[in-house]
Amino acid sequence: MGALETVTGLAGFERRLAGADSERRAARWLADELAGAGREIVVEPFWCRPNWPLAHAWHVGLALAGSLVSVASARAGAVMLLVALVSILSDAFTGLSPGRRLTPERASQNVIAVGRTTHQSDGEPIHLIITANYDAGRAGLVYREQFRRVSSALRRLTLGLAPGWLGWLALMIVWLLVLAILRIDGHRSQAIGAIQLAPTIVLVFALAALLELATANPASAAGDNGTGVAVAVQFARALHAAPPRHLAPELVLQGAGDGGGTGLRRYLRARRAERTVRNTIVLGVGACGGGRPRWWTSDGPLVPLRYSRQLARICADLAAEQPNLGAAAHAGRGSAPALPARMLRRPSISIGCLDAHDIAPRSHQRDDVAANVEPSALDASVQFGLLVVDEIDAWLAENRRQEAVTPA
Range of the domain at 382: 3-50+108-139+219-405
pLDDT at 194 over 70: yes
245-266 pLDDT, tens digit each:
999 999 999 999 998 899 999 9
Q: At 378, which CATH number?
A: 3.40.630.10
C-alpha to C-alpha distance for 74 and 118, rounded to whole angstroms: 65
Helix 228-241 vs helix 375-405: crossing angle, to nearest 10: 50
Would you say 381 and 232 are in contact if contact means Cβ atoms under 8 Å apart? no
pLDDT at 399: 83
DSSP 369: -
Q: Kindly state whether residues 65 and 42 are assigned to the same domain.
A: no
The pLDDT value given to residue 32: 93
Task: Please give the average per-residue pLDDT across 87-115, as a whole number.
Answer: 94
170 & 308 share domain: no
Q: Identify the pLDDT of residue 408.
A: 44
Among the listed ranges 57-61, 152-156, 182-186, 321-325, which one has the minimum average pLDDT value?
A: 152-156
> Contact 94/196 with Cβ under 8 angstroms?
no
Spatial separation of the C-alpha atoms in residues 341 and 283, rounded to whole Å: 9
Are residues 272 and 134 part of one domain?
yes
CB 378 within 8 A of CB 312: no
Q: Do residue 120 and residue 253 come from a single domain?
A: yes
Whether residue 155 sits in one domain with residue 266: no
* Three-state secondary structure call for residue 331: strand
Residue 323: inside a domain: yes
Domain assignment present for residue 197? The answer is yes
Residues 365, 143: contact at Cβ < 8 Å?
yes
pLDDT interval class at 405 (50, 70, 90):
low
Give how far the C-alpha of residue 109 lies from the chain's centroid of Cα atoms, to the nearest Å: 17
> In terms of domains, do 86 and 198 share one?
yes
Query: Is it the case that residue 121 has pLDDT exceeding 60?
Result: no
The answer on 202 and 294 residing in a single domain is: no
Rg of the chain in Å (alpha carbons): 22
Portion of the chain with pLDDT greater than 90, in percent:
79
Instruction: List 109's β-bridge partners, or say none.
Output: 45
Which of 214, 244, 267 is at the close of a domain?
Answer: 214
| Selection from 138-142, 194-198, 282-286 with the highest mean pLDDT | 282-286
Residue 189 sits in the same domain as residue 92: yes
Q: Which residues contact 92 (CB under 8 A, 6 or more apart)?
A: 166, 300, 301, 302
- The answer to whether the beta carbons of residues 290 and 362 sit under 8 Å apart is yes
Reported pTM = 0.93
Is 368 a member of any domain?
yes
In a domain, 391, yes or no: yes
Mean pLDDT, the chain, integer: 92
Please indicate, yes or no, whether residues 323 and 256 belong to a single structural domain of this protein: yes
Residues in the chain, overall count? 408
- Same domain, yes or no, for 274 and 370? yes
144 domain-assigned: no
Q: What is the pLDDT of residue 156?
A: 79
Domain count, the chain: 2
Inside any domain, residue 260: yes
Give the C-alpha distances (Å, rounded to integers) separating 5 from 37, 169, 227, 290, 374: 19, 40, 10, 16, 13
Rounded to whole angstroms, how far apart are CA atoms 67 and 217? 31
Residues 273, 200 share a domain? no
Looking at the chain, the whole-number percentage of residues with pLDDT higher than 70 is: 94
